[in-house]
């Protein structure tokens, strides 16, 4: 058994395929299919490590023999070939083959008590066991350090704060230093020892299992055909021309999966809300967006900037129906939609987090939008967004065919 994976009797290659799939952002069920195991087995492996993935490539040992090579050794050995001949067949040195055959010196064929029988499965199990090379965890053997970490965790200090502060408090004693990753693994990974998993409740997330990190490019998966915000026209930045919008979703409770779409005009802060009674998938957002934007005159439909959420997978259809140029922010960059982010904060006064947002009808959403659009704003010289928008529209050469309402 390899303690890093928690799966006795299985080759590292099998478990390695599972963790590589998790590292790529796949679900437990999908990762289990890749490894060829059931969802129950995949979940057991995941829980055993508390959701903490082994270091990359720990299951790959390029210099070591693989299981296919060990099977070939078993066949050639049974055929009577010596270590040099087997080494030539596999492209390995004779010393490598000799060491490999000594792995199973205690296993003899039942019909030949004088000849060692090499079994590929037994040799692979022994190789996997030796590959772990487990050593005692630092928080298991260093009791003063463990007490310090436990006390600080109970004060709700983060592992990073603990690791950095210990270096400050004990600058001349490296034995009292510990990395934040070591603390996380001591909490989450079974068999690492040192800290109890109950201490996870003192972490900021409070999770009993660690959520795997995905690479930046794997955050949500790229949306086909999206145009980055770096290609957005420069006129959008100065807020002098109306018709440039920022948008996003505010989410309700996880149980209901409800959401409300928010649209904010950059020049004036004018708000429109999208009613999404049947979820916030790509089709639902597309229909709500097209319906709401169709109420605006052409001069108020220039660009839209959105986060890289999958709800905008149909952005090409939205752009065609509304005559909008749609741009997408960089990942983890909410400041690129600053007006929208500020407005979403105001909206939480009306739509608290972790509530069912689907219970609010379109009439109430329009009422909330109208209330925000009639609040005086400092940046508008204490005019309201509705007044500022109407003033900008009156300056346009083409008068609006439909006056915007809250």
User: Residue 165 has which token pair?
Assistant: 């502060």
Same structural domain, 337 and 291: yes
Same structural domain, 283 and 382: yes
For residue 189, the model assigns a pLDDT of 61
**Mean pLDDT value of segment 32-47:** 79
User: Residue 344 has which token pair?
Assistant: 């979403």
Task: Answer yes or no: is 14 within a domain.
Answer: no
Task: Answer yes or no: is 349 within a domain.
Answer: yes
Give the separation between CA 91 and CA 290, rounded to whole angstroms. Answer: 65
Sign of CA dihedral 92, 98, 104, 109: positive
Task: Answer yes or no: is 399 within a domain.
Answer: no
Let me know: does 5 contact 134? Beta carbons within 8 Å. Answer: no
Query: Which among 202, 218, 245 is the end of a domain?
Result: 202
Task: Answer yes or no: is 33 within a domain.
Answer: no
CB burial of 316-328 (b: ≥16 within 10 Å; e: otherwise) equals eebbebbebbbbb
Query: Which among 185, 202, 219 is the end of a domain?
Result: 202
Q: Which of 246, 303, 306 is nearest to 270 (CA)?
A: 246
Let me know: does 45 contact 52? Beta carbons within 8 Å. Answer: no
Same structural domain, 193 and 142: yes
Let me know: does 92 contact 101? Beta carbons within 8 Å. Answer: no
Same structural domain, 320 and 262: yes
Same structural domain, 324 and 365: yes
Same structural domain, 299 and 328: yes
214 has pLDDT over 90? no
Top pLDDT among 383 and 58 is at 383
Query: Which among 81, 116, 132 is the end of a domain?
Result: 132
Helix (H, G, I), strand (E, B) or coil at 48: helix
Range of the domain at 72: 67-132
234 has pLDDT over 80? yes
CATH number of the domain bearing residue 310:
3.30.420.10
Same structural domain, 312 and 187: no
Q: Model pTM?
A: 0.48
Same structural domain, 149 and 121: no
Task: Answer yes or no: is 26 within a domain.
Answer: no
Residue 301, Ramachandran bin (φ over 0: left; ψ between -120 and 50: alpha; else beta): beta
Same structural domain, 194 and 328: no
Q: CB burial class (10 A; 0-12, 13-18, 19+) of residue 70?
A: buried
Top pLDDT among 280 and 125 is at 280
Give the separation between CA 343 and CA 183, rounded to whole angstroms. Answer: 38
Integer-rounded Cα radius of gyration of the chain: 31
Give the separation between CA 393 and CA 379, rounded to whole angstroms. Answer: 18
Helix (H, G, I), strand (E, B) or coil at 26: coil
Same structural domain, 376 and 251: yes
* Tens digit of each residue's pLDDT (9 = 90 or more) over 113-133: 445 678 888 887 777 777 655
User: Residue 143 has which token pair?
Assistant: 């009791």
For residue 314, the model assigns a pLDDT of 93
For residue 57, the model assigns a pLDDT of 46
Task: Answer yes or no: is 361 within a domain.
Answer: yes
Task: Answer yes or no: is 20 within a domain.
Answer: no
Let me know: does 222 contact 166? Beta carbons within 8 Å. Answer: no
User: Residue 320 has which token pair?
Assistant: 């065609």
Domains in the chain, number: 3
Task: Answer yes or no: is 48 within a domain.
Answer: no
Q: Which of 324, 325, 345, 326 is nearest to 334 (CA)?
A: 345
Same structural domain, 154 and 289: no
For residue 185, the model assigns a pLDDT of 73
* Tens digit of each residue's pLDDT (9 = 90 or more) over 180-209: 877 777 776 654 555 665 666 667 655 555
Q: Any idea which of 170-179, 195-204, 291-300, 330-339 has the lowest mean pLDDT?
A: 195-204
| Residues belonging to the chain | 406
Q: Any idea which of 208-217, 241-250, 365-374 has the lowest mean pLDDT?
A: 208-217
φ and ψ at residue 3, rounded to 5 degrees: -65, -20
Same structural domain, 149 and 237: no
């Amino acid at each position: 058994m390899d303690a890093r994976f928690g799966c006795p009797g299985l080759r590292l290659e099998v478990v390695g395929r599972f963790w590589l799939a998790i590292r790529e952002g796949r679900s437990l069920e999908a990762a289990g299919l890749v490894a060829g195991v059931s969802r129950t087995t995949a979940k057991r492996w995941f829980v055993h490590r508390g959701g903490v993935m082994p270091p990359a490539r720990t299951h790959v040992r390029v210099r070591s023999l693989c299981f296919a090579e060990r099977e070939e050794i078993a066949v050639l050995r049974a055929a009577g070939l010596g270590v040099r001949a087997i080494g030539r067949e596999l492209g390995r040195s004779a010393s490598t083959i000799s060491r490999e055959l000594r792995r199973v010196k205690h296993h003899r064929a039942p019909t030949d008590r004088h000849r060692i029988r090499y079994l590929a499965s037994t040799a692979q199990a022994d190789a996997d066991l030796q590959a772990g090379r487990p050593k005692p965890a630092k928080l298991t053997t260093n009791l003063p350090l463990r007490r310090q970490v436990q006390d600080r965790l109970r004060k709700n200090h983060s592992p990073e704060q603990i690791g950095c502060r210990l270096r400050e408090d004990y600058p001349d004693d490296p034995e009292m230093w510990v990395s934040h990753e070591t603390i996380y693994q001591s909490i989450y990974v079974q068999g690492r020892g040192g800290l109890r998993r109950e201490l996870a409740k003192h972490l900021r997330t409070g999770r009993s299992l660690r959520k795997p990190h995905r690479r930046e490019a794997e955050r949500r998966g790229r949306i086909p055909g999206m145009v980055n915000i770096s290609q957005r026209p420069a006129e959008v930045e100065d807020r002098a021309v109306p018709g440039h919008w920022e948008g996003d979703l505010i989410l309700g409770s996880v149980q209901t999966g409800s959401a409300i779409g928010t649209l904010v005009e950059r020049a004036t802060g004018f708000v429109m809300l999208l009613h999404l009674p049947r979820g916030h998938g790509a089709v639902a957002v597309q229909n709500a967006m097209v319906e709401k934007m169709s109420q605006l005159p052409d001069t108020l439909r220039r660009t839209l900037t959105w986060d890289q959420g999958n709800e905008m997978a149909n952005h090409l259809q939205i752009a065609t129906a509304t005559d909008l140029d749609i741009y997408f922010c960089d990942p983890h960059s909410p400041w690129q939609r600053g007006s929208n982010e500020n407005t979403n904060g105001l909206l939480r006064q009306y739509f608290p987090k972790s509530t069912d947002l689907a219970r609010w009808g379109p009439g109430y959403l329009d009422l909330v939008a109208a209330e925000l659009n009639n609040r005086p704003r400092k940046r508008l010289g204490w005019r309201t967004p509705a007044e500022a928008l109407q003033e900008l529209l009156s300056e346009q050469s083409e008068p609006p065919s439909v006056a915007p309402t809250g």
